[in-house]
Amino acid sequence: MEMGSATHEKAGLFARGWWWIKLLPEKLRTKVCEIASNTKQLGKDDPRRVIHSLKVGLALTLVSLFYYYQPLYNNFGVSAMWAIMTVVVVFEFTVGATLGKGVNRGLATLLAGALGVGAHHLASLSGHIGEPILLGLFVFLQAATSTFIRFFPKIKARYDYGLLIFILTFSLVSVSGFRDEEILELAHRRLSTIIIGGSACVIISILVCPVWAGADLHNLIALNMEKLANFLEGFGGAYFNTSEDEENKDDKAFLQGFKSVLNSKTTEESLANFARWEPGHGRFQFRHPWMQYLKVGTLTRQCAYRIEALHSRLVADIQVPPEVGQKIQEACTIMSMECGKALKELASAVRAMTKPSSADSHIAKSKAAAKSLRSSLQSGLWEDIDLLQVIPAVTVASLLLDVVNCTEKIVESVHELASLAHFESVSQEESQSRSDCQHVVVTVTESSPLPPVTPENGNPSGSVTDRRNIQV
Amino acid sequence: MEMGSATHEKAGLFARGWWWIKLLPEKLRTKVCEIASNTKQLGKDDPRRVIHSLKVGLALTLVSLFYYYQPLYNNFGVSAMWAIMTVVVVFEFTVGATLGKGVNRGLATLLAGALGVGAHHLASLSGHIGEPILLGLFVFLQAATSTFIRFFPKIKARYDYGLLIFILTFSLVSVSGFRDEEILELAHRRLSTIIIGGSACVIISILVCPVWAGADLHNLIALNMEKLANFLEGFGGAYFNTSEDEENKDDKAFLQGFKSVLNSKTTEESLANFARWEPGHGRFQFRHPWMQYLKVGTLTRQCAYRIEALHSRLVADIQVPPEVGQKIQEACTIMSMECGKALKELASAVRAMTKPSSADSHIAKSKAAAKSLRSSLQSGLWEDIDLLQVIPAVTVASLLLDVVNCTEKIVESVHELASLAHFESVSQEESQSRSDCQHVVVTVTESSPLPPVTPENGNPSGSVTDRRNIQV
């Protein structure tokens, strides 16, 4: 019996193995197709990725000319490999990151090289036995100290790579000096090849279709406000079921788009750090107030947390009784819609770099709606209604009041940004017409024909919300 | 007049300059003191940072022996510098990160070295003029392709460094081959020195006070749940003003601690990525379900968003009228307190790696409180109360209902984690006694005497909440 089952099992195993082998080509084909379509999507989402890859290839090929071309090789010899290494490690996606790494690497090499030569001289004074001991001590102390300094948050954000290269160069130069008598020559060749490699990166990254971290941050902040606006403009209709299509309301893309705002902190911070390395470009001055963008971003995220709470109300599937709904519907829809409009106004003002003009009036309207909501809640119309049935709607109203407060703070911070960055002021009508033809403006002022920041979810620019709700 | 004002201005400038110079030593002294105290704090917050710095120094000093010790130098020569470079770039704070980088670097060097030698041979077949052209083409294609592959999110998370080193080594080996005839020797020496440097890093990082990314992730998840629990346990008292000290309730540390949970996504994800590289250690098997920790973390963050909405109610300074407050106070306080207890239970169960036993009963209690809240809202007691005055309290109640739902989901996900990771089951009494002496357990089972994850805000482990509220 047992034997039989074992044979059976074996046969089963064999059959399964055969089955697996037979399916292999099919599986491989699906896998390859999947990878191909993923690759295509990746390039389509942000064509700058493809261009960046070609730029890296170009820089590397150019720098390897040092090996091929005899007169250049005569000058630098094997040290030319430092130039190749520099290109590989320094070339980053944005100009700011490349420049930051390049400057960090160059300065750290210079400083550490000088100190390394000094340490070598100091050590060589102490005789042939003392020298390696003293050198080892220097390397240990320097590495431990620099590694600890890398833990300081502010230094980690801007100079982490520089400290890494400092440790590297100091160790290499001081230790090599023990064998190589031409230590000054070594330090000098290393520095000059690193400068050549770094310059190649920086020049190519600025001249060939540059990707500016600052512009990305600028667009990301505007995009995030737009995502919240899309939610708020659609929320009234979705919650009170006044839109035509009532089925699966949580599937709608514009109600999901804001989710990516919740976790945008890290991206914003690193973009701001890179942006600070960038020279003035296009519409941005050298000392553009990048830190103010982070403030706007933080407030936007605060608002997104409230919207997340609103969203959970939306998907909770609690039906609002019509007699409750109609009492607060108008005020809630106006509040949400006006906040959405204010955020859209801010987003397009930021994009166009003009002072937002009508955002305050939208806030005023939503505050007026909040006031009328309060008075309608105060009036005696509610006495015949079960409090339990009112709760969901009242909670939504209360969260919307929070959202209005948050939006007001965002408006203030964008005003501050506008004055810090000297956005030009336009009249209200002008701004209206500008924001109507926003897409054209963006395409025209953009220095490259590439899309600004990839919208991960939803359609942030093409807002197709039902505007009839507000006229209810 | 104008002259006079100019002289006056000059004198003012001079006086200010003199003032500045006089203040300089004082300023310098303050700055130095500030840096010193920051440094001390940084080391105190997490003493593992100091140890890590010393470990890096040690590894670097050991590896530089290759230069000092003649027999070793005879073997490797100048190539020993690759070992130094490897130590500097590979040695990271956690074992997982070091191992991941080391493996990436080793494998990428092996693969790229082999391909580079192949490319060199292929190119050398095409004569002296064709060779550099073909080599340049290879380098360009390889660099562009690899750079593009680095954009795939999954590959970026785990193999980004490997691809960087792949580009580097391929370019170096194939290009050096153009000048250096001993290309095989070059590739081999580079590989073996990298393996030596990488092994030194991995061995030191595992043997000397190891910092396991997995253990950090484990503790971080528990700590985050605890932070939410601290808020929830204190919320009832703070909102209904039943705690003794009524002044500035938003200043209390335990009500702020949860804020860091909102932005913990990036940290959790990178720790999980590192943890997957780590071998089994202490209480963690090799294939510990790290991805499930991320699920728990995501649900914890969802809960934190709701709590953020609750927190905004707390600081909104809206006084709840006592006649409203007392009606919902008991139910709300119980709901919040029981959710807090459930989360605390989960946190200590995760820390002790036991199956959570009493969390379900806490959830049941909070659900019962929610039910009684509902029925008290339904009862006719409310007719004489202005609806506007009820709104803040009702909103809080409604948000607390959301929190109960979220907490239930967290409980489920921790149950799943417990079964995936084979946490041992304990009886309810045992778990009670365990969680009572939790702090002792943690200190004993921890392999090193260092604190697990630095609590950034608040006091996550010493919860001093007023338990009298629940007996109200």
Query: What's the pLDDT score for residue A318?
Result: 64
Q: What is the mean pLDDT of residues A68-91?
A: 83
Query: What's the pLDDT score for residue B182?
Result: 73
What single letter denotes the amino acid at residue B179?
R
A177 CA to chain B: closest CA distance, Å?
Answer: 10
CA distance linking residue B333 with residue B399, whole number of Å: 13
CB A229 within 8 A of CB A341: yes
pLDDT band at residue B380 using 50, 70 and 90 as cut-offs: low
Please list, in sequence order, all residues whose beta carbon lies within 8 angstroms of the beta carbon of residue B67, skipping any fewer than 6 positions away. Answer: A175, A176, A178, A179, B73, B80
CA distance linking residue A303 with residue A315, whole number of Å: 19
State both tokens at B453: 């994850």
pLDDT band at residue B459 using 50, 70 and 90 as cut-offs: very low
Chain A contact present for B276, CB below 8 A: no
CA angle A300, A304, A309 (to 5 degrees): 155
Q: Could you say which residues from 34 to 73 on chain A have a Cβ atom under 8 Å away from some Cβ of chain B?
A: 38-39, 42-43, 49-50, 52-54, 56-58, 60-61, 64, 67-68, 73
* pLDDT more than 90, % of chain A: 42
Query: What's the pLDDT score for residue A293?
Result: 94
C-beta atoms of B262 and A305 within 8 A: yes
Please list, in sequence order, all residues whose beta carbon lies within 8 angstroms of the beta carbon of residue A170, skipping any fewer than 6 positions away. Answer: A112, A113, A115, A116, A119, A139, A142
Of the candidates A201, A163, A168, A243, the residue with the CA atom closest to the CA atom of residue A62: A201
Q: Could you say which residues from 10 to 39 on chain B have a Cβ atom under 8 Å away from some Cβ of chain A?
A: 38-39
Final residue of a structural domain among A148, A174, A207: A207
Same domain, B259 and B272: yes
Q: Could you say which residues from 302 to 331 on chain B have a Cβ atom under 8 Å away from some Cβ of chain A?
A: 305-306, 308-309, 312
Contacts of B53 in chain A (CB under 8 A): 143-145, 147-148
Please state the φ and ψ torsions of residue A150, each to the nearest 5 degrees.
-65, -15
Query: What's the pLDDT score for residue B386?
Result: 67
Query: What's the pLDDT score for residue B29?
Result: 92
Same domain, B40 and B88: no
Nearest CA in chain A to B135: A61
pLDDT over threshold 80, residue B469? no
Distant-in-sequence contacts of A294-297, Cβ < 8 A, 24+ apart: A294/A268, A294/A269, A295/A413, A295/A416, A295/A417, A296/A221, A296/A225, A296/A410, A296/A413, A296/A414, A296/A417, A297/A220, A297/A221, A297/A224, A297/A264, A297/A265, A297/A268
CA distance linking residue A235 with residue A303, whole number of Å: 14
Same domain, A253 and A118: no
Same domain, A198 and A346: no
C-beta atoms of B68 and A135 within 8 A: yes
Same domain, A368 and A246: yes
Strand-pair partners of A224 = none
Same domain, A322 and A355: yes
Please state the φ and ψ torsions of residue B355, each to the nearest 5 degrees.
-70, 130
Number of compact structural domains in chain A: 3
Query: What's the pLDDT score for residue A4?
Result: 53
Final residue of a structural domain among A207, A239, A257: A207
Q: What is the mean pLDDT of residues A425-432?
A: 60
B424 CA to chain A: closest CA distance, Å?
Answer: 33
pLDDT over threshold 80, residue A368? yes
Q: What is the mean pLDDT of residues B36-64?
A: 92
CA distance linking residue A304 with residue A453, whole number of Å: 19
pLDDT over threshold 70, residue B381? no
Q: Could you say which residues from 78 to 107 on chain B have a Cβ atom under 8 Å away from some Cβ of chain A?
A: 78, 81, 84-85, 88-89
Collapsed DSSP state (helix, strand, coil) of residue A424 = strand
Query: What's the pLDDT score for residue B125?
Result: 87
Nearest by CB: B402 against A64, A142, A312:
A312
The CATH code of the domain that includes A427 is 1.20.58.220
pLDDT over threshold 50, residue B442? no
Same domain, A217 and A144: no
State both tokens at B354: 């036991």
Q: Mark residue A409 as left, alpha or beta (left: phi above 0; alpha: psi -120 to 50; beta: remaining).
A: alpha
pLDDT band at residue B451 using 50, 70 and 90 as cut-offs: very low
A300 CA to chain B: closest CA distance, Å?
Answer: 14
Same domain, B333 and B381: yes
pLDDT band at residue A7 using 50, 70 and 90 as cut-offs: low
Q: What is the mean pLDDT of residues B228-240?
A: 86
CA distance linking residue B300 with residue B412, whole number of Å: 12
Q: What is the mean pLDDT of residues B86-106?
A: 93
Collapsed DSSP state (helix, strand, coil) of residue A284 = strand
Q: Could you say which residues from 360 to 399 on chain A have a Cβ atom under 8 Å away from some Cβ of chain B?
A: 374, 377-378, 382-383, 386-388, 390-392, 394-395, 397-399
Query: What's the pLDDT score for residue B188?
Result: 83
DSSP classification of residue B467: G
pLDDT band at residue B443 using 50, 70 and 90 as cut-offs: very low
A184 CA to chain B: closest CA distance, Å?
Answer: 16
- Choose from A166, A388, A409, A454 for mutation: most chain B CBs within 10 A: A388
Average pLDDT, chain A: 81
Collapsed DSSP state (helix, strand, coil) of residue B281 = strand
Of the candidates B321, B323, B346, B327, the residue with the CA atom closest to the CA atom of residue B232: B346
pLDDT band at residue B239 using 50, 70 and 90 as cut-offs: confident
Query: What's the pLDDT score for residue B229?
Result: 93
C-beta atoms of A147 and B402 within 8 A: no
CA distance linking residue B139 with residue B149, whole number of Å: 15
Query: What's the pLDDT score for residue B439?
Result: 38
Query: What's the pLDDT score for residue B463?
Result: 33
Final residue of a structural domain among A207, A238, A254: A207
pLDDT band at residue B202 using 50, 70 and 90 as cut-offs: very high
Query: What's the pLDDT score for residue B252?
Result: 66
CB A129 within 8 A of CB A247: no
Nearest by CB: B151 against A49, A144, A171:
A49
pLDDT over threshold 70, residue B124? yes
Q: What is the mean pLDDT of residues A31-38?
A: 92
Contacts of B38 in chain A (CB under 8 A): 152
Q: What is the mean pLDDT of residues B245-270?
A: 76
Q: What is the mean pLDDT of residues B58-72?
A: 84
Of the candidates A262, A395, A217, the residue with the CA atom closest to the CA atom of residue A318: A395
pLDDT over threshold 80, residue B1? no
Please state the φ and ψ torsions of residue B354, each to the nearest 5 degrees.
-120, 160
Q: What is the mean pLDDT of residues B313-336?
A: 77
Q: Mark residue B248 as left, alpha or beta (left: phi above 0; alpha: psi -120 to 50; beta: remaining).
A: left
State both tokens at A233: 């403009």
Same domain, A236 and A309: yes
Strand-pair partners of B358 = none
- What is the domain extent for residue B200? 50-207
Q: Could you say which residues from 398 to 417 on chain B have a Cβ atom under 8 Å away from some Cβ of chain A?
A: 398-399, 402
Contacts of B160 in chain A (CB under 8 A): none
pLDDT over threshold 90, residue A299? yes
Query: What's the pLDDT score for residue A427?
Result: 59
* pLDDT more than 90, % of chain B: 42
pLDDT band at residue B270 using 50, 70 and 90 as cut-offs: very high
Q: What is the mean pLDDT of residues A89-116?
A: 93
Q: What is the mean pLDDT of residues B274-300?
A: 91
Nearest CA in chain A to B152: A42
pLDDT band at residue A379 using 50, 70 and 90 as cut-offs: low
CA distance linking residue A111 with residue A91, whole number of Å: 22
Helix B127-149 with A2-45: angle, nearest 10 deg:
100
Chain A contact present for B143, CB below 8 A: yes
Same domain, B125 and B233: no
CB B369 within 8 A of CB B237: no
CA distance linking residue A396 with residue A368, whole number of Å: 17
Q: What is the pLDDT of residues A431-466, one digit of tens each?
A: 455 444 443 333 323 333 333 343 333 333 333 332
Same domain, A54 and A39: no
Strand-pair partners of A281 = A284
Query: What's the pLDDT score for residue B24?
Result: 87
pLDDT band at residue B472 using 50, 70 and 90 as cut-offs: very low
C-beta atoms of A147 and B382 within 8 A: no
CB B458 within 8 A of CB B257: yes
Q: What is the mean pLDDT of residues B139-165?
A: 93
Q: Give the pTM.
A: 0.81
pLDDT band at residue B449 using 50, 70 and 90 as cut-offs: very low
Tokens 């081959």 correspond to what residue?
Answer: B177
pLDDT over threshold 90, residue A151? yes
CB B233 within 8 A of CB B463: yes
B86 CA to chain A: closest CA distance, Å?
Answer: 9
CA distance linking residue A96 with residue B268, whole number of Å: 27
CA distance linking residue B374 with residue A388, whole number of Å: 7
Same domain, B301 and B371: yes
A37 CA to chain B: closest CA distance, Å?
Answer: 12
CB A101 within 8 A of CB B177: no
CB A262 within 8 A of CB A304: yes
- Choose from B155, B305, B454 for mutation: most chain A CBs within 10 A: B305
Mean pLDDT lowest for which of A249-253, B108-112, B343-347?
A249-253
A246 CA to chain B: closest CA distance, Å?
Answer: 24
Beta-strand (E) ranges in B329-466?
A: none
